[in-house]
Amino acid sequence: MTFNTGTGTTPLLARQSKGIYNFLIIPLIFIIVFLAIWFLLKFIKKRHETREWIEAQKKRTTNKKDIKEVAQKYSLTHAESELLWEICKKGKTPNICYLIHDSDAIDDLFRSHYSRMKKEHEPEKKITDLFRLRYKMELEEASAAVITTTTTLAEGTRFTYMIPNGMQILCTLKKNSSDNMIVSIPQQLYDSDSKPPPLSKAVFSFTTHTGMYYIFSTRIIRYSTGLDNQPEMVLSQTNDLRPQTKRQSKRMAMDIPCLFSAVREDDTLKKNNFVPLEKQHECVLLNISADGCCITTPLPIKEHQYICVSIPLGDETHQIIGRIVSTRRNLVNNLFFLHINFLQIDAKTQNRIFASIYGYKPGDEETLSS
Residue 333: helix, strand or coil by DSSP?
coil
Predicted TM-score (pTM) of the model is 0.69
**pLDDT at res. 1:** 47
**pLDDT at res. 370:** 47
Q: Rounded to a whole number, what is the distance in angstroms from the first to the last CA of the chain?
A: 121
**pLDDT at res. 298:** 94
For the chain, the 3-state helix, strand and coil shares in percent, each to the nearest 5, are 35, 30, 35
- Is pLDDT of 22 > 70? no
Query: CB atoms < 10 A from the CB of 214, how many?
Result: 17
Dump pLDDT digits (tens) for 226-272.
989 999 999 999 998 888 765 667 888 888 999 999 998 876 655 66
Write b or e for each residue in 273-288: b if 16 or more Cβ atoms lie within 10 A of its Cβ, otherwise e: ebebeeeeeebebbbb
**pLDDT at res. 54:** 64
DSSP 8-state code for residue 148: -
**pLDDT at res. 279:** 93
Mean pLDDT of the chain: 84
Dump pLDDT digits (tens) for 138-173.
877 776 667 889 999 999 999 988 877 666 788 999
Instruction: Give me the sign of the Cα torsion angle 228, 231, 234, 240.
Output: negative
Closest alpha carbon to 284 in 251, 258, 311, 309: 258
Dump pLDDT digits (tens) for 269-297.
556 678 889 899 999 999 899 999 999 99
Beta pairing, strands 213-225 & 335-344: unpaired
H or E segment at 112?
helix 103-119
Closest alpha carbon to 114 in 368, 354, 367: 354
> Quick check: 156 and 302 in contact, CB under 8 A?
no
Non-local (6+) Cβ contacts of 182 within 8 A are: 173, 174, 175, 176, 226, 232, 233, 234, 235
Any idea of the CA torsion for 253, 143, 185, 237, to the nearest 10 degrees? Answer: -170
State how far the Cα of 183 lies from the Cα of 158, in Å rounded to an integer: 9
Between 103-119 and 78-91, two packed helices, what is the crossing angle to 10 degrees?
Answer: 90
CB-count burial class (<10 Å; 0-12, 13-18, 19+) for 95: buried
State how far the Cα of 69 lies from the Cα of 71, in Å rounded to an integer: 5
- Is pLDDT of 362 > 70? no
